[in-house]
Structure 1
Amino acid sequence: MATPKIQHWTLANGARVYFVETHELPMLQIRAVFDAGSSRDPAGKAGLASLTAAMLDEGAGKFTADDIASQFEGQGAEFGADVDRDMATVSLRSLSDTSLLDPALDLFATVLSVPSFPPASLERLRAQALVSLQKDAESPGAVGEKAFFRALYGAHPYAHDARGDQASLKAIAREDLAAFHRQYYVGANAWLVIVGDVSVQQARDIAQHVVGRLPAGRAVVPLSPVRELRAPVEKKISFPATQTHIYLGQPGMRRGDPDYFPLYVGNYILGGGGLVSRLAVEVREKRGLSYSVYSYFMPLRLPGPFLVGLQTKNDQSQKALKIARQVLADFVAKGPTDEELDAAKKHITGGFPLRMDSNGKIADYLAVIGFYGLPLTYLDDFIPQVEAVTADQVRQAFRRRVHPDKMVTVVVGGRR
């Protein structure tokens, strides 16, 4: 499989650019990524990063929200903005025809550099966010996931939900949005991804136009370390539902972790491989204790969570949790069989080309490579790295990194 050739350069203001030239379709994908995720929310104002990104296209320069929406639509372009715990991503998808691309890029650059944060839009988006939080409070899954992150990360910035909470959202003022944008949406804090039907010189011009004019600013300070769990933590939340939601986990791995590939392949066998995974076979197929059971690692800049999750009937919750713990402990102690490992490798490597079969997917990979400082050969190396994983490497990595006796357990349900 031929992987895309990645070209990389840095602008005068510190912004780092990653470019892949493809001409199969007359399209261009752009991702402007900033170290402006929810982990950068100031104390008492959780949700600020998310609101800032959501407000970018509510007004910028001389343009209103209606102007921005109608112009992008008229140019056949799609705009988007999203925030996770580590990063804010602002995206543009456009046709490469310069008569459409150039005005779309002009507007995209304006939205990135001079958002106006209209007060009326802030109140509307704040109200929408508060309604969304109320819906979360009525969902056992959302309640459980938020409780899991709080129990897992404590006072660390990864602990709170990216959308904040009711008190923090109400505390955010327009001036907070403007100050957050000034601090974090700067060249020293930016990565730009360009994938599509343009030449290298065009890509250089686009990069300069889109983020090269941002103030250089300063790179943000590193986040505080994630602390390992010293003892198990259990939290039970009574909730009126027929199903109990269970979350079991600990801090897992970071992007670029030396154990990444053994943990990644091993987790496919444990609970990431759907109905053929150990957890699904033991909890769901053999015993009928859960319709949905899974595990995953969520690598972040610092160790993101390793999570085992399942839903089960209220009266089966303790039995299902016991079996899930047994499966996890057995896998950590013994690792995979050779047959499981071989099947996992074939599935992962066989499906990898489908994960790069569009410009958008390639752009997503480049954003991860750039933001987390992964090698430019990451995509070339992926299949060989997976194929090189041995059963002993999986065993050793899980023994080093996963500790069944020191897990956070959150149980939500138990009340009809």
Structure 2
Amino acid sequence: MAAHRAAYNTPTHRSRPRGQRARSRARLPALPHSGNVTCFSLANGVNLYVYANPSSPSVVVNGYLEVGALDEPSATKAGLAGFVADCLMRGTQRRTYAQIYEQIEAVSASLSFCSGMFTTSFFAKSLAEDLPLMLDLLSDVIRCPTFPESEVAKERAEWLTDLHERATSTSAMCGLVFNALCYPEDHPFHYATDGYPETAQAITLDDVRQFHATFYAPAGMAIVIVGAVKAEQAHDLVTAHFADWSAARPARSVNLEVPPIAERRRKHVHIPGKSQTAMLLGRPGPSQLDPQWLACTLMNSVFGQFGLYGRLGERIRKEEGLVYHIGSRFEGGLGPGAWNVYAEVHPGTVDRVVEIVRAEMRRIREHKVKPAELDDNKAYFVRALPLRMETNEGIASQILNMVRFRRGLDWLLEYPDRVYAITAADVQAAAQRWLDPDHYVLATAGPEVENGASSAEGFSVHVDDRR
């Protein structure tokens, strides 16, 4: 492991003077691990993780609450969790909307919220001396929002504007159709976490207040604090603002199993005024809790990421000249997000691009990756990781990911060995499990297709057209 850890600090630009390389390495913060991340657990279920970085004048607070779109009562309320999160800072029992932002801006700080399928995340940044204020604000807006009717109406208007803009975006609409094709109507992933115009109009003020009262609770809350702060100080502040929070939420009971796709499904969405077609081709994939996750991401790097978009970029962009940008990704988080290939293409070349993608899927399934190609991708994985932790934000994000995906706080120290241990057979096994050139979903959005067709011959279409 020592040799692999040393690779983190190996310079890639050999022309840089030796002394300058040494000084640059000295400025990099140490990798967070169980020996330098201090952990605290409050009796009500709040978990705090503190990483002291005294070389930085700032402090970052990053974390999440276990509340999200999974807790929405029905598809007719799609987007409710996100709307509640967006309304948190519209006013509290102690502060008006204007006062919240005046206090944040007076110290050049920031505070924001974002809700997803499983959790609602928060992020704050300020100078270290303003950490007490930021935690006071964070506690206030999470625990005591009042959701003033006039402010909620303004937030709804902004939401509807965003949805109107989404309807004109080929990539966004392609994503909606792709998820509707991938996941059945009784699966949470079938629906957009940011909702639809009809749900945005249907959600009431009572819905907003009831959702917050029912699901916002301290159990499972994670708070990561990184910067010029001592662990004891952070603990005292978090305890003062959150230890007496005693709300409880109902347990989740959601089935996230996805039935296998046993055919090809295809649908096109016509968006007037567009010259390019956005396309997504793929199928449901693993969650990040899957033991095969790291091998999957390495396989995907070979297939559609590394070196200007991997094999897909080499074949479809460089050799064929059919696209400017193409790639592939796994979208899994705590649940089974999709694996897909994404591209912007000329409408007349969609079928040709699809055939090449399918051919490359067969190749990576049937033939093991060559050692040189695999080694290049492994080296990229190992060298890229520390670059994501040059800032307090990057460090906090990595700690939060270790917590969220239950990896243990020594994951980053173990990461090089884990990457280098992946074999060509592991990569092939990941491709054979998750990539299927014969059974997949193809969603496209853009100019109207010839004859107004929404599916190609030989494809069966299963999609909720009410969207």
TM range (shorter): over 0.9
* Counterpart check, 1:66 vs 2:94: no
The residue number in structure 1 matching 2:259 is 228
- 3-state SS in 1 of match to 2:67: coil
CA-CA distance at 1:59 after TM superposition: 0.4
Give 1 or 2 for the bigger CA radius of gyration: 2
Whether 1:160 aligns to 2:191 is yes
Structure 2 unaligned blocks of 5 or more: 1-7, 9-29, 450-467
Alignment match, 1:255? 288
1:16 aligned partner: 47
Tell me whether 1:136 sits opposite 2:166 in the alignment.
yes
Deviation at 1:330, TM superposition (A): 1.5
CA-to-partner distance for each residue in 1:358-404, whole Å, 9 max, x for gaps? 11111112222222322121222222211211111101122123323
1:299-347: CA deviations, max 9, x gaps? 2112111111111111111111111111122112224221110111111
Corresponding residue for 1:217?
A: 248
Where does residue 426 of structure 2 map in the other structure?
A: 393
Residue 50 of structure 1 is matched in structure 2 by: 82
* Among 151, 159, 164, the residue aligned to 2:181: 151
SS at structure 2 position matched to 1:188: coil
Q: Which amino acid aligns with 2:104?
A: F
Deviation of the 1:103 alpha carbon: 2.6
Question: Aligned pair in 2 of structure 1 residues 211, 383: CA closer, same or farther (>3 Å)?
Answer: farther
Task: Write the letter of the residue equivalent to 2:304.
Answer: G
Instruction: Report the more deviating stretch, 148-157 or 405-414.
Output: 405-414
Q: Is it true that 1:287 corresponds to 2:316 in the alignment?
A: no
Q: 2:385 aligns with which of 336, 352, 361?
A: 352
TM-score by length of 1: 0.95
Secondary structure of the corresponding residue to residue 63 of structure 1 = coil
Distance, in Å, in 2 between the alignment partners of 1:18 and 1:255 is 21
Change (3 A) 1:219 1:32: farther
The alignment status of 1:182 with 2:213, answered yes or no, reads yes
Q: Does the CA contact (< 8 Å) of 1:229 and 1:407 recur in 2?
A: no
Confirm or deny: 8 A CA contact 2:287 2:333 kept in the other structure.
yes
The separation in 2 between residues aligned to 1:70 and 1:51, in whole angstroms, is 22
2:5 aligned residue:
none
1:274 Cα deviation from its structure 2 partner: 5.0
Question: CA-to-partner distance for each residue in 1:207-235, whole Å, 9 max, x for gaps?
Answer: 21343232241463143123132313222
Q: Which runs of 4+ in 1 moved over 6 A?
A: none
Kindly provide the amino acid, as one letter, of the partner of residue 177 in structure 2. Answer: A
Q: Which residue of 1 aligns with 2:353?
A: 320
Structure 1, unaligned stretches of length 5 or more?
none
Q: Is the 8 A contact 1:188 1:219 kept in 2?
A: no
What does residue range 294-313 of structure 1 map to in structure 2 within 5 Å? 294-313=327-346
* 1:73/1:413 CA distance change after superposition, 3 Å: closer
Cα distance change on mapping 1:58 and 1:383 into 2, 3 Å:
same
1:117 alignment partner in structure 2 = 147
Q: Which residue of 2 aligns with 1:172?
A: 203
What letter matches 1:209 in structure 2? A
Return the alpha-carbon distance in structure 2 between the equivalents of residues 125 and 216 of structure 1.
Answer: 26
Q: What SS does the corresponding residue of 1:277 show, helix, strand or coil?
A: helix
Which residue identity lines up with residue 79 of structure 1 in the other structure?
Answer: L
Structure 1 residues 222 and 394: alpha-carbon distance in aligned structure 2, compared to 1, 3 A threshold: farther
Deviation at 1:160, TM superposition (A): 1.5
Q: Choose which of 22, 31, 40 in structure 2 pairs with 1:3.
A: 31
The 1:37–1:333 alpha-carbon spacing in structure 2 relative to 1, beyond 3 Å, is farther
Matches within 5 A, 1:187-198: 187-198=218-229
Query: Is the aligned partner of 1:207 residue 2:238?
Result: yes
Give the whole-Å Cα distance in 2 for the aligned partners of 1:55 and 1:210: 21
The letter of the residue matching 2:390 is D
**3-state secondary structure, aligned to 1:226:** coil
Deviation at 1:148, TM superposition (A): 0.7
- Structure 1 residues 76, 209: CA separation in 2 closer, same or farther (over 3 Å shift)? farther
2:117 is aligned to 85
The aligned residue for residue 368 of structure 1 is 401
Q: Which amino acid aligns with 2:232?
A: Q
Q: How many residues align?
A: 414
1:276 shift after superposition: 5.1
Deviations 1:87-129 (A, max 9, x none): 21122212112xx332332222111110111111111111111
Q: Percent identity?
A: 28
Q: Kindly indicate whether residue 369 of structure 2 is the aligned counterpart of residue 341 of structure 1.
A: no
The structure 2 residue matched to 1:106, chosen from 133, 136, 149, is: 136
Instruction: Indicate the residue corresponding to 1:242 in structure 2.
Output: 275
Does the CA-based 8 Å contact 2:359-2:437 persist in structure 1?
no
> The residue matched to 1:85 in structure 2 has which SS?
coil
In the TM superposition, residue 46 of structure 1 has moved relative to its aligned partner by 0.8
- Does residue 411 of structure 1 match 2:444? yes
Q: Could you list the per-position Cα deviations for residues 224-278 of structure 1 after superposition, in whole angstroms to 9, with x for gaps in the alignment?
A: 1231323132222333322122111111111221101111111111002252500
Q: Given the two structures, how large is their TM-score scaled by the length of structure 2?
A: 0.85
Which of residues 147, 151, 157 is equivalent to 1:127?
157
The residue number in structure 1 matching 2:459 is none
Contact 2:60 2:124 (C-alpha < 8 Å) held by counterparts? yes
